[in-house]
């Protein structure tokens, strides 16, 4: 057993590249792009790249930027046996693997030429940890079943993480932690509270700055490309929030009604601003009207009784799902582009999937209640 070597993005600037540093818009986009790459936010990086290229016109900047490998025919290629259930996998900027476990801690795994080794354990929680995120590249945020949130920062020399802040969130089980801009955090809890947390200007410590109404107990919110937030409620509706530049508060813009009452488990934003909403046993695609900006249910596909806790998008626009039944599935849009059809059953964890990430080299890494981390790889396919 060994831990497959990690990959990273490479940003190249050609000799003929000349960029006016006084171009504030371009500089801001470039910085956001670098941050997205550092944090492993592949989807955000792809979207920012599309904004950067038109500004450069004929300048060949980022022409060799790394992109996700396009692959098909996925199968298991490696696994790591753990001593506990694996939750909410993250890939750190230095290519190490982070996961949370139910007994109150985080584990970071690295690898060397001889194989895999466990490098660090982060202790500090007194309850099970199931949700994490990374911010500003080198910081980890973790939340536990009692609502405690801890912020960890990396020592540049030792590479070890140490606690820099902790705060009591909603006092209920943390359901998700979503990073926003300027190190703000959107935190959702088991009791349905969804709150924005930001740093106090004087102390540098986190404090609650806003509670969002009309939200429900679900597993994930999403930050959109225009910096708005999409959340769900107990009836399965979607609500869009926009940040007021004057007050810094998120304002409810509009709620889009679901065609029927149903429990919303998770949300995923696609590059074309379509929202994939996973309900019990089905997935609904919400499409944004280009003229009105309104979201409407476009189509639905049946999950065969399964619940998709995690959704990601491959570079060829196929969807990968993993969830309650422990099975990783790949879905492809039909010819009319109205729904998705099941095209690959990748593999089975034998228990609920509690973490899934798409790596830049096209591999899929998953973790579950079977106490295993599994790596899935496919055959390379040339981009059309």
**How much is the pLDDT for 148?**
93
Residue 339 and residue 188: Cα distance in Å, rounded? Answer: 30
Distance of CA 87 to the CA centre of its chain: 13
pLDDT in tens, the chain (384 residues): 223 333 222 222 222 333 333 355 666 766 676 677 666 666 666 666 655 544 443 222 222 233 567 888 999 998 888 888 999 998 888 778 899 987 778 999 887 665 666 778 999 999 989 899 998 778 999 999 999 999 999 988 888 899 999 998 766 788 889 999 889 999 988 877 889 999 999 999 999 999 987 676 666 678 887 788 998 887 888 999 999 989 989 999 999 999 888 888 888 888 778 899 998 889 999 988 888 888 999 888 888 888 898 998 888 888 999 989 999 999 998 877 678 889 999 999 989 999 999 887 888 999 999 999 999 999 988 655
**How much is the pLDDT for 30?**
65
Residue 217 and residue 194: Cα distance in Å, rounded? Answer: 9
| Residue whose C-alpha is closest to residue 143's, from 187, 198, 181, 182 | 187
**How much is the pLDDT for 281?**
86
Query: Is residue 340 a contact partner of residue 332, using CB atoms and an 8 Å limit?
Result: yes
**How much is the pLDDT for 171?**
66
Domains of the chain by residue range: 1-67
**How much is the pLDDT for 43?**
66
Cα 238–243–245 angle (5° rounding)?
A: 165
Residue 359 and residue 354: Cα distance in Å, rounded? Answer: 17
What pTM value is reported for the model?
0.78
Place of tokens 């020399």: 157
């Amino acid at each position: 057993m060994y831990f497959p070597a990690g990959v990273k993005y490479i940003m190249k600037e050609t000799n003929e590249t000349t960029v006016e540093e006084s171009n504030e818009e371009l500089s801001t986009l470039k910085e956001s792009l670098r941050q997205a790459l550092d944090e492993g936010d592949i989807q955000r990086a792809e979207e920012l790249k599309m904004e950067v290229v038109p500004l450069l016109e004929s300048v060949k900047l980022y022409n060799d930027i790394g992109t996700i490998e396009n692959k098909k025919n996925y199968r298991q290629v490696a696994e790591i046996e753990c001593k506990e259930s694996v939750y909410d996998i993250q890939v750190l900027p230095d290519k190490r693997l982070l996961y949370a476990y139910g007994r109150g801690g985080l584990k970071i795994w690295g690898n060397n030429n001889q194989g895999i080794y466990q490098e660090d354990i982060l202790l500090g929680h007194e309850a099970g940890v199931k949700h994490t995120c990374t911010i500003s590249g080198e910081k980890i945020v973790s939340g536990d079943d009692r609502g405690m949130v801890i912020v960890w920062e990396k020592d540049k020399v030792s590479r070890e993480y140490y606690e820099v802040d902790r705060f009591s969130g909603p006092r209920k089980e943390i359901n998700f932690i979503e990073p926003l801009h300027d190190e703000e955090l959107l935190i959702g809890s088991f009791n349905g509270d969804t709150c924005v947390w930001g740093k106090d200007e004087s102390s540098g410590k986190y404090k609650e700055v806003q509670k969002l109404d009309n939200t429900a107990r679900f597993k994930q919110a999403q930050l959109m490309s225009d910096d708005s937030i999409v959340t769900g409620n107990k009836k399965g509706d979607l609500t869009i929030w926009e940040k007021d530049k004057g007050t810094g508060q998120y304002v409810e813009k509009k709620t889009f009604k679901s065609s029927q009452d149903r429990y919303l488990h998770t949300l995923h934003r696609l590059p074309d601003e379509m929202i994939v909403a996973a309900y019990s046993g089905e997935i609904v695609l919400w499409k944004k009207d280009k003229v009105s900006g309104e979201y409407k249910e476009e189509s639905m596909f049946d999950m065969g009784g399964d619940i998709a806790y995690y959704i990601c998008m491959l570079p060829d626009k196929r969807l990968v799902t993993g969830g309650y039944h422990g099975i990783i599935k790949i879905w492809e849009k039909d010819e009319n582009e109205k729904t998705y059809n099941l095209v690959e059953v990748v593999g089975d964890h034998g228990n609920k999937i509690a973490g899934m990430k798409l790596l830049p080299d096209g591999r899929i890494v998953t973790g579950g209640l079977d106490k295993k981390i599994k790596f899935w790889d496919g055959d390379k396919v040339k981009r059309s």
